[in-house]
Structure 1
Amino acid sequence: MVTSQLQSLYQQLQKAFSVQPCQLNTCKNLLAQLKVGLVEAGLLVPQKEHNLDDLTISRDILEMGAIWSVRSKDVPSFDRYFSQLQTFYKDYSNVLPPSPQEFPIRGLNLIRLLTQNRIADFHITLEALPAEIIYTNPFLKHPVNLEQWLMEGSYSKVWAARNETPAEEYKYFVDSLMGTIRSEIASCEEAAYNSLPIKDACTLLFFSTRSELVTFAQQRGWEIDIMGEQVRFATKGEEKLEIPKRKLIASSLIYAKELEQIV
């Protein structure tokens, strides 16, 4: 059963989590203490019958932890919280009242899979959800649309979707997804061109300012010619293919001798 101390920490977490802006450090410290308390109470991963209120509080703590992880840009932490929430979302779905945070968190998990290019896991996760809500629930529809646009190569729609996210936390994963897209586009540019006008490079890479392009170019080892309004891509020297002549000759001689013995 949830102790009075655990209840007090829970109330403090609610307060620190709900203020604007969210008190990230305070939440971090409180979550660490609360998870220890949940373990001691057997509520972190419940395996027996528990008080309904205790289960609801436990789920609420883990949900705040998952959202806090995204706000803190801590993806491994989000993974752990999401994994711990599966017991509540699956095993206790018929016992607990619906959580308003369940589908926002499920949607965040779907976008996370996209950013990690785990397309197979993305579809497996979708198949486990009720088919009738996938295209109607805004928190699920958003990542489904993103995946479709990625497969089509409609990167401009992915970029525009950043301003249409159903929750503020979604923007972090969409930005991460755009980072992956920019890397792919940059690799194509390097292979296809020696240089491009700065304006065209900004457009192709979805940068709204030159400073963003300059920072990206420095990371890729590109040269920015401000006077000539050009971005020059790093030239890659042709790789020389060295043929191990002696090894090939030795192998051929051994093979010839073996053939003679067979004959």
Structure 2
Amino acid sequence: MVHSAVKQIHGKLQRAFASSSKDTTPLLAQAKLDLIQAGLLVPVGEHREQDLSYARDILEIGAFWSIRVRDVPAFDRYFSQLQTFYTDYQGVLPPSPRQYPLQGLNLIRLLTQNRISDFHTVLESLPPETLQENPFIRHPVNLERWLMEGSYSKVWNAREEAPAAEYRFFVDSLMGTIRNEIASCEEAAYNSLPMADAQTLLFFNNQQDLMQFTQQRGWQPDLIRKVFTFPTKADDKAAEIPSRKIIAQALTCAKELEQIV
């Protein structure tokens, strides 16, 4: 028989999540307590299929909700707990329609954290056909390739092509990293940059976001000339080579060698 508490909280949570209600957060907290009491948060041994299905649904909702509220550590915990259901009980439970969307989110998370080796390790564990046929897996695979190519405009456009709304959160995080890399290159190459060019190069849709970003980097706006001036960098003093001292030491060594010989 299905644990009544788990079944009841599962129904409430489904409805709250579907409506994006703020009640989802406290309901998730209560659901995890019910799962712990039922021995279903990290199940071991034999359990009824319906119990396992409810538990998996609750954890999957928790993973998606964590992205909606921008809580990446919580997403990591939920995704880690789900692996038991996806691997140990894959012969007991029918496939979950949320599994590949969550695996795709996890892959993008690894990209945002620059964990490229872990990214490829996860890809190797997936069926080869999913890399091109499954839209939730194909999306992060394309993102990784475009990042390696430096095709940042494709990464930017991928935000609108995301197979699920939650994917946009991680794509935005990637764009933050990309913007800082582009800005660092511009600072090293030029003393100033036209505002219009900066907005295009940094993939901003409006000037307000551009101003906020450049202010954080210390760029000085000249509203009359419509350019940004980069922070002045102190010139590195050329290291003086003590040539006389080196020559004197060399001569001393030479004399000592002659005496030894």
Instruction: Calculate the TM-score normalised by the size of structure 1.
Output: 0.89
Please give the residue correspondences for 1:222-233 in structure 2 after superposition, counting only pairs within 5 Å. Answer: 222-233=219-230
The aligned counterpart of 1:108 is 105
The aligned counterpart of 1:158 is 155
Equivalent position SS for 1:163 = coil
Is residue 197–residue 231 contact of structure 1 (8 Å, CA) maintained in 2? yes
The aligned counterpart of 1:5 is 5
Shift of 1:190: 0.6
* 1:217 aligns with one of 194, 214, 218: 214
Equivalent position SS for 1:196 = strand
Q: Segments of 4+ in structure 1 off by > 6 A?
A: none
- Percent identical pairs in the alignment equals 60
The aligned counterpart of 2:83 is 86
Is residue 223–residue 232 contact of structure 1 (8 Å, CA) maintained in 2? yes
Q: Are 1:134 and 2:98 matched, yes or no?
A: no
* Deviation digits for residues 157-206 of structure 1 (CA, Å, limit 9, x no counterpart): 00011110000110000001000000100110110010011111111101
RMSD over aligned Cα atoms:
2.0
| CA distance in 1 between partners of 2:122 and 2:7 (Å) | 33
Q: Tell me, which stretches of 5 or more residues in structure 1 are unaligned?
A: 246-251
The aligned counterpart of 1:26 is 23
* Deviation digits for residues 131-162 of structure 1 (CA, Å, limit 9, x no counterpart): 11121100000000000000000000000111
Shift of 1:44: 0.8
Alignment coverage as a number of residue pairs: 247
Shift of 1:2: 4.5
Shift of 1:34: 0.9
The aligned counterpart of 1:145 is 142
Q: Tell me, which stretches of 5 or more residues in structure 2 are unaligned?
A: 243-248
Q: Are 1:62 and 2:59 matched, yes or no?
A: yes
Is residue 2–residue 41 contact of structure 1 (8 Å, CA) maintained in 2? no
Instruction: Calculate the TM-score normalised by the size of structure 2.
Output: 0.90
The aligned counterpart of 1:248 is none
Shift of 1:7: 1.7
| CA distance in 1 between partners of 2:71 and 2:88 (Å) | 27
One-letter identity of the residue aligned with 1:177: L
Equivalent position SS for 1:95 = coil
Is residue 111–residue 173 contact of structure 1 (8 Å, CA) maintained in 2? yes
Is residue 6–residue 54 contact of structure 2 (8 Å, CA) maintained in 1? no
Query: Residue 213 and residue 95 in structure 1: after superposition, are their counterparts in 2 closer, same or farther (change >3 A)?
Result: same
Please give the residue correspondences for 1:119-130 in structure 2 after superposition, counting only pairs within 5 Å. Answer: 119-130=116-127
Shift of 1:79: 0.3
Shift of 1:29: 0.5
Shift of 1:3: 2.8
